[in-house]
Structure 1
C-alpha cells in the first residue's frame, strides 16, 4: 500500500491522534502546579495514583523507603494526622509547605514530583509532643552533655587511629564558592547562600547569615518551648547561641531545596561522629526586598 491510498489514511490519522493525546496530557500536567498537587495531597481527593510506582516517604513517626505506594496510601488514609496548610512555597518541580495538625502541633513538609506530576519523595517533620519533648534553652546547649560524651568516645578511637595513620589536620568546611552575597534575590539563591556560604564563613558566619534577614523577621525553631524568635536582634542572638554550642566536628548539610522565587523549602541533615541525624525541613519566605522575613525549622533529634 502506498501513501495517498484510502487504506493508508487510518494509521496516519491514528498516529496523529496518539501524538495529540500525548501533547494534551503533557499540557494538563503543566497546568497542575506543584502547589495545587500539594493541596490535593493534604485536603482533597487523595488517590494512590498520586504517588509514583517507587515513592519514598519519611518522617520521625513512619518511614517507607521506596517501592510500596500501597503502604503509603494506607498510612495516608488511616494513620497520618489531618493537617491544614498554612504557607506554600512557589517551587517549580518540588514544593514545600508549613502546616498545623488538628491537635495543634505544627510542622513542615517537602514534596518532589516526577515528570508525570506524581509524588516521588516526601519528608515531613512535626514538632515534639508537649513541653516534655522540647527544650527551654538553646537546643544544642541543652544537648551539650550528650554531645560531649559522644565526642569523648569518638576522640579515643580517633587517637588510636592516628597511632597507625598520620592524618592531616581538619581545617573544617569552607564556603563552597566563596560568594560574598547570594547570586540573586530569589529565595532559592538566598537559601543556598545561607547553607553553602554564610554558615561556613571563616571570619564571622553569624554576620553573613544575618545580612540576609529583615529587621522584622520571625524565626520558628519547633524544638523550643518558646519557638518564635521575633525581630533581627532576637534571631541574631539565637544564631550566636547555636554557633557557640555547635561542636567543631558537627556539620549541617543541605540535601535538597525547592526552586522558589519568593519562598523556598530546604531539607537537610546533621553529620556528627559518623551519625547522619537529625534530619529536618526548613521553610523560608522572603519579603519584597529579597530578605528572609519568615523561617520555620522542623526537626527531630532522633530522626
Structure 2
C-alpha cells in the first residue's frame, strides 16, 4: 500500500529533496578519468570547464543551429543524454545532435540561454543556466557533463526548475508516507576539514550524513545562499539552512549520490532519492560553490526531476513563451548569478 501511495504522490508533486544532510545513504563515486586528470595537472586547463565555456557560452549550442551541431561533434558515439524534461534518455551521437537541434527549433528564434555558474571540473563539470529574451529572464536549470578518456562528452544530465513549487507540502507528504520507518543508527566518522568543493561534497554525503547536523553545518559559510527548487524563495544564512536540513531529517528517505565532478572552487553532482520501499527513484542534480576565502559552501542549487515527463506546466510555458520557458519572466539581471 505504501508503495502505491508513493507512486500516486509522485504524480502530484515535484520532489526536491536536495542535500538535507540527515539522509542516510551509501555513496557511489565514479572512477576518475586518469588521462584527463594528467592533462589538467600538466597544463593547468580544466578540460570539462573549458569545453562548457566553448559550447554553451561561445557557440550558444542551446539556441543556435551551428552551436547544436558543434555540441554533437563533441559527443562520444555512445553518449547518454538524460534530459529530464523528456520521458527517456537520448542515446547515441546522431540522436543527441538531432535533440539539440530540436531544442534550438523549439525556441523559434526567440531568446538565448545564459550560463550563470560553471564548476571548475576537468573530467566532469556542471553549470547553472537561465533562459533570457529581450529585457526579461525566465527558466533556470542545471546541467552536468562527464567526459570519456578521449575528452568526448560521454554523459549528460540536465534538469530545468519546476514551474510549480509545492513548498512545505512536499515535507508533509514525505512524513506521511514514511511514517513508521525505523531510524538507522548514526554512522561513526572521523571529523575532517576538506577544502575543495568535490571533497566537501564527498565528506557531506559519504561520511557525515545521517550522523551529525552540527558537523554538516560546519561546512557551510555564514553567508550561505541555498536555492532548493521545491520552494519559491531562496534560503539565506545558516539558521534557515539548518532548519531545512533538520526538517528533512527523518527515516524512510535514502539519498544516493551518483556522479560528482572534480571541481575545486565549485562542484556539480547528480543524485537519486529512494522514498520508503518504492521501486522507483527520483533523480536530481546539485551545484555547490565555495567562498574562496573561507573554503566553505556559500551557494547551493538543488533541482529534482519532474514525476511526469514532459511536465504539463513546463510544456505549456515553453509553448506560450518559447524564449523564456515560463509564463511570467522577471527583469533581466534581477537575479544575480541566476539565483
Q: TM-score, normalised by structure 1?
A: 0.73
Q: For residue 208 of structure 1, what is the aligned residue in structure 2?
A: 215
Match of 1:100 among 130, 134, 137: 130
Give the paired residue count: 247
Q: Counting helix residues as a fraction of each chain, which structure ranks higher?
A: 1
Residue deviations 1:95-132 (CA, integer Å, cap 9, x gap): 01111123611111110011222110000111112xxx
Gaps of 5+ in 2: 1-37, 60-66, 309-339
Q: For residue 140 of structure 1, what is the aligned residue in structure 2?
A: 171
Q: For residue 119 of structure 1, what is the aligned residue in structure 2?
A: 153
| Helix, strand or coil at the partner of 1:223 | coil
Q: For residue 289 of structure 1, what is the aligned residue in structure 2?
A: 294
Q: What is the distance in 2 between the residues matched to 1:63 and 1:280?
A: 15
Shift of 1:139: 3.0
**Cα gap change, 1:276 to 1:76, in 2 (>3 Å):** same
Bigger relative contact order, structure 1 or 2 (CA pairs below 8 A, ≥6 apart):
2
Counterpart contact for 2:77–2:93, Cα < 8 Å: yes
Shift of 1:88: 0.5
Q: For residue 262 of structure 2, what is the aligned residue in structure 1?
A: 259
**Cα gap change, 1:171 to 1:298, in 2 (>3 Å):** closer
| Helix, strand or coil at the partner of 2:168 | coil
Match of 1:302 among 299, 307, 332: 307
Shift of 1:274: 3.7
Q: For residue 59 of structure 1, what is the aligned residue in structure 2?
A: 83
Q: Which moved more, 1:58-67 or 1:68-77?
A: 58-67
> Max radius of gyration: which structure?
1
Counterpart contact for 1:57–1:123, Cα < 8 Å: yes
Residue deviations 1:240-261 (CA, integer Å, cap 9, x gap): 1121xx4x22201111101111
| Helix, strand or coil at the partner of 2:302 | strand
Residue deviations 1:27-52 (CA, integer Å, cap 9, x gap): 89x76721121123324034222110
Match of 1:241 among 244, 247, 250: 247
**Cα gap change, 1:142 to 1:271, in 2 (>3 Å):** closer
Q: What is the distance in 2 between the residues matched to 1:83 and 1:253?
A: 30
Q: For residue 322 of structure 2, what is the aligned residue in structure 1?
A: none
Q: Please provide the CA RMSD for this pair.
A: 2.8
Equivalent residue runs for 1:39-54 within 5 Å? 39-43=53-57, 44=59, 45-46=67-68, 47=70, 48-54=72-78
Q: What is the distance in 1 between the residues matched to 2:268 and 2:306?
A: 19
Q: What is the distance in 1 between the residues matched to 2:76 and 2:253?
A: 35
